[in-house]
Amino acid sequence: MIYSISVSSGLESLARKEILARYGDSANLKILKREPQKIVFQFNGSPKDLLELRTAEHLHIIVKHITGMTRSRQSLTAIRNAISRLNLQDIVNRCRQTGMRLRKRIPFRVICRMSGQRNFQKRDLQHVVEKVFINRGWQLNRSGSDLDILAELHGGDAYISIRISKQNWGERSKKQAPVAHSIKSTIAYGMVLLSQPHPNDIFLDPMCGAGTILLERAYSGRYRYLIGGDISTESLAATKTNFGRQHQPRQFFQWEAHKLPIQPNSVDKIVCNMTINTGTREAVSEISNFFGNALHQFENVLKPRGRMVLLTLDPLQLDKCIRRHNDLRVRQKVNVDVSGKRGRIFVIYHL
């Protein structure tokens, strides 16, 4: 069966690595295509296993790939003829394997994406796909459906897919208490992967917010100790609520990121979302001072050969501050979309 995952812009390489790490030793897997914000692959195992992926925003079964698309309206006819012959029962069975509960007359909606010059509009494509599935006995419901059908037309290729992940699958950290401006679980997990998690890690997030990064580290495998802290009592309370009694051993503290009460050379990994909002004319100066003071503390508590993975919306300022530290080396930079803003992840090695 052919599947696709959608990912946040910038996480494509990490998502591919995660797929290969989880399923690459199996003859059941073959990566077919990597596109911006999308990876297409063949997987012959249970689709339920794919729900373990943590870098993916959405997971789709590609039920039909149609080639030879042009700008002519004949492309709509070709799409209609191709999907009219689909084995819908096989598709329903695949969806049910993931735990989806589907009624006999399945409510569905069609979401269309189209690029390039065409002699028809997106709504024309939508109506064609909707009519086919209505004729096959499914029930159109554009407001609240059991199944989302994705119809994509790009270049000479058309893809018809069924979304088998839940609506908010990309936010998979089990957070009961969210905090404003928290990063997505998918980005947090990508940052954890970049830290190269190890079972003996003493892992620190000095600006933990709602605990998203710490939770993703806990889900990613064994560790020695988790440490989190934040200046905000509200954020700290949210972290404690979101962790509950799970994921031991760990400790949470109220502190300022540039005044860490931690022993020098005691932490293996530091992973932190350093996006801040000052809202003042002196923002650049304030951010630079904050980065400088925080990096001094981070370097002090990080062990030699330890790693830092830092996310920022002000990469130029952070880069300048890193260059002032002789024992810090940037090993990798990853541009990533953060709620519609261009952010950058720095992977830093401590000499």
Each residue's pLDDT tens digit, 202-235: 999 999 999 999 999 999 999 999 999 999 999 9
Which amino acid is present at 255?
A: W
- For residue 349, give both structure tokens: 């090695």
Model-wide pTM > 0.85: yes
- What is the full DSSP assignment across 69-85? --SSTHHHHHHHHHHHT
> What is the pLDDT of the chain when averaged over all its residues?
92
In a domain, 180, yes or no: no
pLDDT band at 174 (very low <50, low <70, confident <90, very high): low
The range of the structural domain enclosing residue 189 comes to: 185-350
Say what the pLDDT of residue 172 is. Answer: 67
Q: What is the CATH number of the domain that holds 131?
A: 3.30.2130.30
Q: 125 and 193 in one domain?
A: no
Secondary structure (3-state) at 346: strand
- For residue 289, give both structure tokens: 């001072």
User: Which of the two residues, 55 and 339, has the higher pLDDT score?
Assistant: 55
Q: 30 and 109 in one domain?
A: yes
Contacts 24+ apart (CB under 8 A), 327-331: 327/299, 327/351, 328/295, 328/299
Q: 155 and 9 in one domain?
A: yes
Whether the CB-CB separation of 192 and 217 falls below 8 Å is answered with yes
Q: Quick one: what percent of the chain has pLDDT higher than 90?
A: 78
Q: 197 and 56 in one domain?
A: no
Q: 134 and 219 in one domain?
A: no
In a domain, 179, yes or no: no
- 246 CB neighbour count, 10 Å cutoff: 10
Q: Rounded to an integer, what distance in angstroms lies between the CA atom of residue 27 and that of residue 254?
A: 49
Say what the pLDDT of residue 282 is. Answer: 53
Q: Is the pLDDT of residue 279 over 60?
A: no
Question: Which tens digit of pLDDT belongs to each residue from 71-115?
Answer: 999 999 999 999 999 999 988 888 888 888 887 788 999 999 999
**Closest by Cα among 314, 297, 300 to 206:** 297
Say what the pLDDT of residue 173 is. Answer: 63
Q: 320 and 203 in one domain?
A: yes
Say what the pLDDT of residue 268 is. Answer: 98
**In whole angstroms, what separates CA 127 from the centre of its chain?**
31
**Residues 120-127: what's their mean pLDDT?**
97
From first CA to last CA, the distance across the chain in angstroms is: 46
Q: 219 and 124 in one domain?
A: no
Last residue in a domain, options 101, 129, 163 = 163
Q: 124 and 38 in one domain?
A: yes
- Beta pairing partners, 273: 311
Q: Rounded to an integer, what distance in angstroms lies between the CA atom of residue 333 and that of residue 185?
A: 19
- For residue 70, give both structure tokens: 């042009």
**Around 80, how many Cα atoms within 13 Å sit in the side-chain half-sphere?**
15
Q: 139 and 15 in one domain?
A: yes
Could you tell me which residues come within 8 angstroms of residue 219 by beta carbon, excluding any fewer than 6 positions away? 54, 173, 189
Q: 109 and 39 in one domain?
A: yes
In a domain, 202, yes or no: yes
Q: 252 and 289 in one domain?
A: yes
Say what the pLDDT of residue 277 is. Answer: 61
Question: Which tens digit of pLDDT belongs to each residue from 227-245?
Answer: 999 999 999 999 999 999 9
- For residue 346, give both structure tokens: 């720095």
In a domain, 219, yes or no: yes
- For residue 338, give both structure tokens: 């953060």
Q: What is the CATH number of the domain that holds 239?
A: 3.40.50.150
Say what the pLDDT of residue 281 is. Answer: 47
**Residues 140-145: what's their mean pLDDT?**
82
In a domain, 271, yes or no: yes
- For residue 33, give both structure tokens: 């295509």
In a domain, 169, yes or no: no
